[in-house]
C-alpha cells in the first residue's frame, strides 16, 4: 500500500525500504524482519501496519508544527488550543489532513 506525501512515494511496511540502483529494485529491511514473508508471496495488505503509519504521521506533524516559532503548546492535532491556532490562520483543512495520527 503506497503512501505519497510531499510528492515522494513511501511505504509503511514494517520498515521495508524499496529503492533502485542501476535499474534494479532493492529492498532494505531490518535484521529482525522475517524475509520469508516476502519470499512466500505474503500480500502487502498483510504486511502494512496502519498504527505504524499513524505514529509516523505524528512524528512528521510534530517536526513540522511543534517547534519554537510555530507552536509552543501541547503538540496534539486534537488539542483545543492547537485547533484554535490553526483556525486563526485559516488552515483547518490542513489540520484535518493530520487528524488521523497516534500521538506518541
DSSP string across 31-89:
TTS-THHHHTT--HHHH--HHHHHHHHHHHHHHHHSSTTT--S---TT-HHHHHHHHHT
pLDDT recorded at residue 84: 96
* pLDDT tens readout for residues 21-75: 998 888 777 777 777 877 788 776 777 677 877 888 898 899 999 998 889 899 9
> Residue 4 gets which letter from DSSP?
E
In this prediction the pTM is 0.61
Query: Is the pLDDT higher at 13 or at 58?
Result: 58
Amino acid at each position: 500500500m503506497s503512501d505519497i506525501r510531499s510528492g515522494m512515494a513511501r511505504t509503511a511496511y514494517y520498515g521495508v525500504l524499496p529503492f533502485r540502483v542501476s535499474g534494479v529494485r532493492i529492498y532494505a529491511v531490518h535484521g529482525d524482519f522475517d524475509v520469508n514473508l516476502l519470499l512466500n508471496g505474503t500480500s502487502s495488505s498483510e504486511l502494512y501496519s496502519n498504527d505504524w503509519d499513524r505514529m509516523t504521521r505524528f512524528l512528521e506533524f510534530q517536526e513540522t508544527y511543534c517547534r519554537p516559532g510555530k507552536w509552543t503548546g501541547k503538540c496534539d492535532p486534537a488539542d483545543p488550543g492547537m485547533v484554535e491556532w490553526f483556525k486563526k490562520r485559516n488552515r483547518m483543512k490542513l489540520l484535518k489532513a493530520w487528524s488521523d495520527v497516534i500521538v506518541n
